[in-house]
């Protein structure tokens, strides 16, 4: 399969994540996405624990393959690989969140590397400027949305909307992954190169 096909995972990963989130939320019945944490969907003892874990681990596996496709494309086009390698922090975190369900202590610890994901659009903004179209707008949008997710660390601010605050981060990386999918495929098409 060609690298281009694996780049489509940048669009598929958010679909898997959000589908898992909404399906598990509907199965819980009384779950409200605005005021409850995402991790509660896979909490120990819930009827959605296994389904949620499967969804998160699937995202981790798919994102690892996505990273490989991005990395290979960067090498071919002589682009800096650091914004791509940072995405592995997402793969590690989401796998950890799936393997160690809430409220286990390792759930929180394994989620911490995802903070580094902010560096991917930030570094991309500076290192890929001459290669990708609409990079400035999409990097800034992704950074802004992910940064809004850190409102979760301020419990007194929008205290009734912890779920909404947390989801800003997930919307941010979803935008970034989708943009990488789009822009790297466009880059390949522009150069009219075929990949093995």
Give the mean model confidence (pLDDT) for residues 39-64. Answer: 96
Whole-number pLDDT of residue 196: 43
Residues of the chain with pLDDT > 70, as a percent, come to: 96
Binned at pLDDT 50, 70 and 90, residue 192 comes out as: low
Whole-number pLDDT of residue 149: 85
How far apart are the C-alpha atoms of 166 and 153, rounded to whole Å? 9
The mean predicted confidence, pLDDT, of the chain is 91
How far apart are the C-alpha atoms of 94 and 103, rounded to whole Å? 15
Q: pLDDT tens digit string along 127-177?
A: 998 888 889 999 999 999 999 988 776 777 777 788 898 999 999 999 999
Give the mean model confidence (pLDDT) for residues 99-113. Answer: 90
> What does each C-alpha distance from 19 to 4, 56, 59 come to in angstroms?
24, 11, 11
How far apart are the C-alpha atoms of 155 and 20, rounded to whole Å? 26
Residue 19, classed as helix, strand or coil, is: helix
The DSSP H or E segment spanning 136 is helix 135-148
Whole-number pLDDT of residue 16: 98
């Amino acid at each position: 399969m060609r690298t281009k096909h694996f780049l489509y995972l940048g669009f598929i990963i958010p679909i898997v994540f959000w589908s898992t989130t909404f399906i598990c939320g509907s199965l819980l019945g009384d779950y409200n996405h605005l005021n409850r944490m995402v991790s509660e969907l896979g909490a120990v003892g819930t009827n959605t624990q296994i389904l949620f874990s499967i969804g998160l681990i699937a995202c981790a596996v798919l994102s690892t393959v996505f990273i490989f496709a991005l990395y290979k494309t960067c090498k071919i086009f002589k682009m800096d690989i650091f914004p791509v390698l940072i995405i592995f922090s997402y793969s590690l975190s989401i796998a950890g969140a799936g393997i160690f369900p809430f409220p286990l202590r390792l759930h929180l610890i394994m989620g911490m590397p995802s903070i580094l994901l902010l560096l991917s659009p930030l570094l991309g903004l500076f290192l890929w400027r001459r290669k990708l179209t609409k990079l400035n707008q999409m990097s800034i949008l992704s950074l802004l949305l992910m940064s809004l997710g850190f409102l979760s660390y301020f419990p007194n601010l929008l205290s009734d909307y912890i779920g909404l605050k947390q989801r800003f981060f997930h919307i941010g990386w979803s935008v970034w992954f989708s943009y990488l999918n789009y822009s790297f495929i466009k880059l390949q098409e522009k150069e009219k190169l075929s990949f093995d």
